[in-house]
Chains A and B, each alone.
Chain A
Amino acid sequence: MRLNVNGKAYEVDVEPETPLLWTLREFIGLTGTKYGCGIKQCGACSVHINGEVQRSCSIPISAVKSSDRILTIEGLSRDSSHPVQKAWVELDVPQCGYCQSGQIMAAVALLEKKPQPTDTDIDEAMTNICRCGTYQRIRAAIHLAAGTGKGGSGSIIHMTADAAASPGAPIDGGKPEREEVH
């Protein structure tokens, strides 16, 4: 069957029940879209179909029409220049990064619908799972990309040198008698 992915036509010979996710990853070679749960819970597989964010792990290829416009992370921009990608870089959002393709695709879809999202809009739209816990920076980066002026720097850091420099326990330079090593 024929697929339109990132503006290119692909001919794929797959069983009709094959999910779009695995068609993208294994037949078209676009591995930026990730497998996380397979039951549309985590959103790591998020792509856009005709501008709507969808969880590709649970869409059989038989439900995709050749006229459907599928957009994956690889097609979002040629050079990571989409405002959401730029905001993600600016605020160092990713940690392990595995969920971030999906997070970015969800954020782009949100901003296309609501260019000036509120925190409540972000709460409702951004349901993708991140195990590293990059959520605070995701929220800030969405505000940054939207130009709402509400995002701040993401992380809130109070750094107080020497505030804890009390004499302390006698550990300096020494190895503790016991420690957790795993």
Chain B
Amino acid sequence: MNKTNSGRSANISRRKFIVGSAAAGGGLALGFNLPFGVEPAAAQGPAADNTEVNAWVVVKPDDTCVVRVARAEMGQGTHTGLAQLVCEELECDWRKVQIEPITPGQNLARKRVWRDMATGGSRGIRGSHDYVRQGGAAARMMLTQAAADQWKVPVSELTVANGVVTHAGSGRSTTYGKVAAAAAKLTPPDPKSIKLKNPRQWKVAGKPMKRLDTAPKVNGTHVYSIDLQLPDMLHAAVKACPVYGGKLKSYDESKIAGRRGVGGVVQVNDATVAVVANTWWRAKSALDALPIVWDEGPNAKQSSATIAAHLAGGLTSGDAFADINDGNAPQAIAGAAKKIEAVYSTPFLSHACMEPMNCTVRITANKAEVWMPSQNAEASLAALSSASGLPLAQCEAYNHGLGGGFGRRGGTQDFVRQAVAIAQRYPGRPVKMVWTREEDQAHDFYRPISQCRLSAGLDQGGNLVGLHIRVSGQSINAWLAPHNIKDGKDVRQLQGLWKGAGDAQMGYTVPNLMTEYAMRNTHVPVGPWRGVNINQNAVYLECFMDEVARAAGRDPLEFRRVLMKNHPKHLAVLNAAAEKGDWGKPLPAGVHRGIAQFMGYGSYIAAVAEVSVSSKGGVKVHRMVLATNCGHAVNPATIAAQVEGSVAYGFDALQNEISIENGRAVELNFQAYRPARLHQLPKIETVIVPSYDFWGGVGEPTICVTAPSVLNAIYAATGKPVRTLPIKNHGLTLV
């Protein structure tokens, strides 16, 4: 076979980092949280490169500024945003900035100087802005100090711009590249002495800089994990029992004996089998031909109908807990002049990353390596270590730019564990395991299924006097992180309906308010799906708000405004969306508007959708205007891309579902699970209204207003609320 080599992986292994013995004491890592019980080192570790000014900044003799990044890049633009923040404080030339991802082994060896590598919860920027900016500022101080030392002048007499240090008094100037080696030898400044810029004075951050990772994505040279090619590589295709909780009973290897290139069959774990071959296509074809007998177990009796009935019980059961219980909502509603009630539901959804789950593992007697697309490279390293039995110091993980993540490739790392089990059978040889799309759809950690009963009471004047929200559904924590459930109360499932400020606060003040959650778990794996629980909860609250507004005879925007006086940041974003979205202005015949607002990941968001519905049920979304206050807007162009992506991904919540029959997922490929296509997308306008007083997330929050704003427009168009998703179950299709 004529195989090319992977530049990416080769580059990583050649990189001249000194990965010393892991001083960090982490024992073996189990579970989903970070295993490394290590305090981050100060923003300076032992220099491993003589022009490494500090952990974040390497300046090469040609003035190239290499900015190290720890977070993963999966298309969300975090790498570019982090580089902007470093560059802003470093005062280097943006045109000379390059990005270099670090590995978890390097991070561990240097006492986690780069801190958290996890990339989820819309935290890539807001979770690291302070220390990366400090890293850039500290490097600037050291570089200017090196110039001052060279010229024997006080550093206070120097100015710096675009990587050029100038001493006006003597007319001398030099560049970062010329003083970097000297700067690298200096003692780093006391972090307390570092003063960061006022974001209102930013020149590089806060601007729509072009992404730094585009070039290899237009010519096929970006090496995704699935593209990796290594010498002596083997390829594996896997199949797990389609019924969750089922087991592998037997398989008949003789039926695929003698197939060309096939090396063997591996039992991966008690529910999974793999075929290994010298190409993936041969492995996959042999796996398709392999007779497998499953012990499907009792879960094979489960279906969407049994699950729905299970959840419905939670809408009225006595085991729910109240998270907010202000006044007496049930009594206020019972005694109200007008009472409105509705039951909503939202289905399981799959992540459907364009790049299916995959990774490559190579295990020798004293070293384990994984090449993977991961939202949390340290979790990948931990999974590699625990699955291989080799200590962390003998493991390394090389993350590749992800072909989509959306929450699927974070803590679980199921694919790494599978690949380790296969690679252990072929010591010394890299084994690349790639899932088919069908396997990817069949074995996701799905967006959890839930139902919601809402009731509201209006007084004679049409004012909301009571609101009662009961969510019944599956818990992500119960599946993935039970330790996060305190006293049996899993508040995470009420995300977006919280009372406390700062992250996912409900924007309405209602005198009698009750929010409740009844946990109803199923046998289906669940996990974070871009936006996690705000997606469902925004549909419930915001669509019901429109029903209540209509019952009160009020305009949906005006009805909300009255309830949001105590939440000015929520209100300001709603007003921004309404204004740019021309709320109240005339529309062409047949076109209707819907509006929604919510909060998640520390950011405030709102949307206005313009929609028409044909007599045949064709739903055309013509235009959407989506506003966000994420506090500081580090890159408006990237924010717009994330907002546009939130519409496309948010359309999943309107038109898709993973349904369950005989205990397994039904929609196994894109003919049945239909991601949004170009022709379905409206004209999208992004309204950014930064208030410069907090750091909010961007990647996830906006998704949650996509579905409710469109659903509210459908309601305006048809007069009928859509309470159960997907819309196809109501004869409606996005066209």
Contacts and interface: CB of A to CB of B under 8 A. Distances in A.
B517 interface: no
Contacts, number: 306
Given A80-B218, A180-B121, A164 B576 contact: yes
A22 B279 contact: yes
Contact of B567 (A98, A138, A159, A169): A169
Interface string B405-422: 111001100000000000
B264 to A, nearest CB: 19
A117 to B, nearest CB: 12
Nearest to B625: A158
B637 interface: yes
B681 A133 contact: yes
Interface string B680-717: 01011111111111100000000000000000000000
Interface residues of A, number: 88
A135 B671 contact: no
A134 B492 CA distance: 30
A121 B580 CA distance: 29
B540 interface: no
Interface in A73-97: 73-74, 76-77, 80, 85, 88-89, 92-97
Given A127-B677, A163-B576, A180-B492, A37 B403 contact: no
A165 B1 contact: no
A139 B679 CA distance: 10
Contacts of B604: 164
Interface string B134-145: 000000000000
B495 interface: yes
B633 A35 contact: no
Contact of B403 (A38, A97, A122, A167): A97
A155 B637 contact: yes
Interface in A140-182: 155-172, 174-182
A160 B74 contact: no
Nearest to A41: B670
A38 B354 CA distance: 12
Given A131-B354, A139-B678, A169 B502 contact: yes
A115 interface: no
A97 B569 contact: no
Q: Is the interface of A mostly helix, strand, loop or mixed?
A: loop
B188 interface: no
Contacts of B504: 178-180
B436 A38 contact: yes
| Most chain B Cβ neighbours within 10 Å, of A32, A163, A177 | A163
Interface stretch (B101-109, B166-174, B643-651, B720-728): B643-651
A73 B219 CA distance: 6
Given A33-B220, A131-B352, A179-B502, A160 B576 contact: yes
Given A132-B75, A164-B569, A181 B669 contact: no
A126 interface: yes
Contacts of A129: 354, 670, 675, 677
B691 A162 contact: yes
B220 A31 contact: yes
B686 A74 contact: no
A160 B476 CA distance: 37
B550 interface: no
Interface stretch (B221-229, B244-252, B324-332, B448-456): B221-229
B70 to A, nearest CB: 16
Contacts of B640: 155-157
Given A96-B401, A156-B640, A32 B74 contact: no
15 contacts: A10-B2, A27-B279, A31-B4, A32-B219, A77-B219, A80-B215, A88-B214, A89-B214, A92-B211, A96-B404, A98-B404, A99-B354, A163-B689, A169-B502, A176-B502
